[in-house]
Chain A
Amino acid sequence: MKYPFPVGQVDFIQGDEAIARAAILAGCRFYAGYPITPASEIFEAMSLYMPLVDGVSIQMEDEIASLAAVIGASWTGAKAMTATSGPGFSLMMENLGYAIMTETPLVLVNVQRSGPSTGQPTLAAQGDAMQAIWGTHGDHSLIVLTPATVQEAFDMTIRAFNLAEKYRTPVILLTDAEVGHMRERVYAPHPDELELVYRKLPVNDEEAKYPFGDVHGDLVPPMPIFGKGYRTYVTGLTHDERGRPRTVDAEVHERLIKRIVAKIENNKKDIFDYETYELDDAEIVLVSFGIVARSAMRAVKELRKEGIKAGLLKLNVVWPFDFELIEKIAENAERMYVAEMNLGQVYHLIKEGANGKAEVDLISKIGGEVHTPGEIVERIKNDLR
């Protein structure tokens, strides 16, 4: 297979471009989108590459249609993706819920900008963390990944496709304008180096009869894709194991929703991912994700230089969330700080996780600029004075 970009070597590219290339290497062959800053470059790169690799890239009439088309494509067996930013992400919420309810694997990239509403179109923010996790209505679970560098944007895009296929669920790649637009060195692996996951397909008619059941006992049913003769009915209504609508049956509803939630939450250890830096003896624990984690890392180095025992917990996933891990870290810490570009969103998760074992404070910044390491250091030193 020939690729329209270099593989097996390093290139110097933007985050958005990295996401597009990684998607194609992950096997994505359907992209539908609607232009929006700062996510448009993903779409533009997809438009350039897709026809060359016999994939589809299509500009829809809006973001609602984009995610709808992606879901439709996924039911034909295609790995499919869309990307957007704030206002478009809001428009996608109903269909995101549909994808969760129908257990449709797909990747949705949100290159965050500052909101609410049209806000600051060209500037970065981390204000959509809660919307990514809880934005669609009803009880549900899904997966949210948070890259901090262009290389991570690349690697996590591949992981996003793998997780989507493995758990038959939508995965959100929650990045931001800073990561999206910055240029960095990125190693794009040769396709032979990649471990790709493909969704389970039914192996016989018997399995295909239960597209929403638990035929393998792992809570993830095989997906009978369209056109293979299985005659599957897919609905966003509450449905039984066979996919038949059962809208007023409390038991059926509970069984379905609890399984959809459990297939993610029970596999938290497999999905949740983080990195630590100087955490072992840390009294002050900084928690960060995405672009801010890079300032936080630098801040920890500065604080250590000044003899302050600081450490960093960098979150690569914000949902499903390992609350127990946070409690364990909190037990050894005096104080935890969450640095994020919003008025406090992941802060709430950390506070709940810490469970009173440590003080949890917020180092918030909004307006479009990333915290400088100095600002984080100053704030912590001020509190220690």
Chain B
Amino acid sequence: MYLKPSYEIRDKYLRKDMLPTIFCPGCGIGAVLQYTLRAIDDLGLTQDEIVWVSGIGCSSRVPGYVNFDGLHTTHGRALAFATGIKMANPNLKIIAFMGDGDAAAIGGNHLIHAIRRNLDVTVILINNFTYGMTGGQVAPTTPKGLKGTTAPYGSFENPFDIAELAVAAGANYVARWSVFNYLQGINSIKKALQKRGFSLVEFLSPCPISFGRRNRLKTSPEIIRWYQKITVPISKAKNMSPEELEGKIVIGEFVDRDRPSLVEEYEAYKKRAKKMMGWEE
């Protein structure tokens, strides 16, 4: 893949009057945004056919910075809003940019149901293991034992594996990478954007300010070393025992399939309705 210089991507896609972003130095959100824009650029998709949707959180501020139609909604509800947009105008392509708290806590129910329906949407999920915007409370993804302001002695709950959840609920495409896997990340987003139905690309993304500070993960070397320690490629994980996988996060491509999407199902349903009513042969 030929990588265009960053300024070209910036000039083409970002709203200059919205810059600078609210993101802290060292935050991973900007990197994932760049991967997403590069994927769009590489595929030659036009800015007028894509709508960005988000909920509330640092990650959800992304649609404000990109020069596309965008709906910045209520906390956790992005995929419910997206359902209305996509079903009312199936010609639009939808990118939902979400945080892990947004998607898996308050929005958990919308997430599993959007996947169950196979809603035509590409979810780009920033998993920073915390609630960044509200200052570092624990999230449903916080690894057990790590700290947040609402679990100052270390989280005592079991974390969600969002990628596995998405596979089980029926998504057409699911991948997970850390922000440091940039080539794999861009390729996955490209695949996801070309999919009909539900696709999700999860990124393990550093939040040095709200999360890292409390967990000795504040500087880039610390974060990179930690990611190296906790992540396992999916091919390797297949041959590991459950004990060996304890506390690890599997990265890679989890599923790539083509179950019929919600839009296709509804088109068929309309035909069925008209036939059953004798309106059409």
Contacts and interface: CB of A to CB of B under 8 A. Distances in A.
A230 interface: yes
A127 B81 CA distance: 29
B270 A80 contact: no
A51 B18 contact: no
A66 B272 CA distance: 24
Given A52-B277, A65-B110, A230-B69, A245 B87 contact: no
Interface string A42-55: 00000000011010
A76 B73 CA distance: 15
A32 B169 CA distance: 22
Contact of B92 (A51, A60, A76, A231): A76
Contact of A32 (B17, B83, B92): B83
Contacts of A121: none
Given A62-B109, A227-B48, A30 B70 contact: no
A58 interface: yes
B269 A65 contact: no
B204 interface: no
B82 interface: yes
Contact of B91 (A70, A227, A244): A227
A229 interface: yes
A77 to B, nearest CB: 7
A268 to B, nearest CB: 29
A242 to B, nearest CB: 8
A165 to B, nearest CB: 15
B153 interface: no
Interface in B257-281: 266, 269-270, 272-274, 277, 279
A22 interface: no
Contacts of B70: 232-234
A236 B63 CA distance: 13
A76 B80 contact: no
A78 B87 CA distance: 10
A235 interface: yes
Contacts of B64: 233, 235, 244-245
Contacts of A30: 84, 87-88
B67 interface: yes
A236 B73 contact: yes
Given A51-B270, A69-B83, A231 B89 contact: no
Interface in B226-281: 266, 269-270, 272-274, 277, 279
Nearest to A66: B80
Q: How large is the interface on A (under 10, 10 to 19, 20 to 34, 35 or more residues)?
A: 35 or more
B71 interface: yes
Interface of A is mostly: mixed
Contacts of B179: none
A56 interface: yes
A244 B17 contact: yes
A226 B51 contact: yes
Given A54-B270, A236-B74, A227 B84 contact: no
A68 B74 contact: yes
A135 B64 CA distance: 28
A98 interface: yes
A76 B85 contact: yes
Interface string B209-224: 0000000000000000
Contacts of A168: none
A237 B61 CA distance: 11
A226 B92 contact: yes
A369 interface: no
A73 B72 contact: no
Given A2-B279, A68-B81, A71-B81, A56 B73 contact: no
A191 interface: no
A80 B80 contact: no
13 contacts: A32-B84, A61-B80, A65-B77, A65-B83, A72-B88, A226-B85, A226-B89, A227-B89, A233-B69, A233-B72, A236-B73, A244-B17, A244-B18
Closest 9 CB pairs between A and B?
A72-B84, A69-B84, A68-B80, A51-B273, A65-B80, A73-B88, A73-B84, A235-B72, A76-B89
Interface of A: 2, 4, 29-30, 32, 51-52, 54, 56, 58, 60-62, 64-66, 68-78, 80, 94-95, 98, 226-237, 244-245
Given A73-B85, A227-B91, A227-B92, 5 more contacts: A65-B80, A68-B77, A232-B70, A233-B70, A234-B71
